[in-house]
Amino acid sequence: MFIEHLQLTNYRNYESLNLDLSPKINVFIGENAQGKTNVMESIYVLAMAKSHRTSNDKELIRWDADYGKIEGVVQNRYGNFPMELSISKKGKKGKVNHLEQTKLSNYIGQMNVVMFAPEDLNVVKGSPQVRRRFIDMEIGQISPVYLHELLTFQKLLKQRNHLLKINHGKQQIDDVLFAIYTEQYIHSAVQIIRKRFHFIELLQEWAEPIHSGISRGLEKLTINYRPIAGLNPDWSTEEMVTYLEQKLAEVKKRELERGVTLVGPHRDDLQFSVNGYDVQTYGSQGQQRTTALSLKLAEIELIKKETKETPILLLDDVLSELDDYRQSHLLNTIQGEVQTFVTTTSVDGIHHETIQHAKMFHVKQGEIKK
């Protein structure tokens, strides 16, 4: 899969931009704050209908404009098709092959991307919230139904939290209504947790040998999904439901005191271990970077296996963050197979032949020249 053409209208610092792209390597060179990352971000937004940099969609629209638009022509194994995402104060609208998608969850997954930026190191060393977002975004690309389930869960969590909030500090609650909300919440939570367990199991299968290769066989990477409730991935749905019922009964008093739901997938986490040690706590910066790189390369292979399409790789100012060995490993892996976009201030320090044969774009003050 690759994107043949990209067109931006009123996006960030671009009033208008039209680019014909290479199906292999595309390198955007320029100083900082010139618009390189904006191009990279636009491809991500076209695929995912949201930015990896901001949750405020208004920031994506060019200053003083009423709307922004990203258009692309995508090639997959069946042929090419246009995609379009419009952003305005009223929200976002997505079109695939000129047909407007009634739900964005139907739109996502048409074009698959893997983003690797310096902030992706936070997947390893950042907060649990960052890791949960990583899981949800990646599962959503290979399983659009997961996005429906996630939206349902978030709605039920909001309803349950609202009931807890209005009864905040009270010893009693409307038990009938609360029981209904809790039952619906538990069944939705279990669906999310089971999907996450399965995804991490698949990710582990790909990431472990990749990490071993990068570390020259010296390190073994283990990825574990850590539900706050302590659920076991081998349990049946019924066993998980029963266990969550017990856990929520145990914390009911505390939930009333605090006014929030204390147990569920919105509080779960991922753990990355190398040779049995927690990378987040005990890993060196090199080990954390190797773990993040292994995850991204594993994502490519996982998406390829699940969708039968090779995803597009976005490397935003990340090559300079990797030493020569990790740089070469990454570029050797993608060579000739994965359409890749690279942003960098200079290619002088990158000696790999893949970059030497790339299509170069020079970015300066929101203008791009070949």
Does 106 count as an annotated binding residue? Answer: no
Q: Are 343 and 36 within 8 A, CB to CB?
A: yes
By residue count, the chain amounts to 370
Q: Is 80 annotated as a binding residue?
A: no
CA dist., res. 114 & res. 141, Å (int): 10
Q: Are strands 67-76 and 2-11 parallel, antiparallel or unpaired?
A: antiparallel
275 marked as part of a ligand binding site = no
Q: Is residue 120 within 8 Å of 112, Cβ to Cβ?
A: no
Listing DSSP states for 193-212 in one string gives HHHHHHHHHHHHHHHHHHHH
37 annotated as ligand-binding: yes
Burial 86-123, CB ≥16 within 10 A → b, else e: bbbeeebbbebeeeebeebbebbbbbbbbbbbeebbbb
Other CB atoms within a 10 A radius of the CB of residue 321 amount to 18
**Cα distance between residue 198 and residue 179, in whole Å:** 29
Does residue 259 have a known ligand-binding role? no
Q: Is 30 annotated as a binding residue?
A: yes
Does 31 belong to an annotated binding site?
Answer: yes
DSSP code of residue 173? -
The residues, any chain, with a CB within 8 Å of residue 19's CB and separated by 6 or more, are 5, 6, 7, 39, 361, 368
Computed over its alpha carbons, how large is the radius of gyration of the chain?
A: 22
Q: Is 15 annotated as a binding residue?
A: no
The answer for residues whose C-beta is within 8 angstroms of residue 6's C-beta and 6 or more apart is: 17, 18, 19, 21, 39, 42, 43, 46, 70, 71, 72
Binding positions: 30-37
- The annotation places the binding site for ATP at 30-37
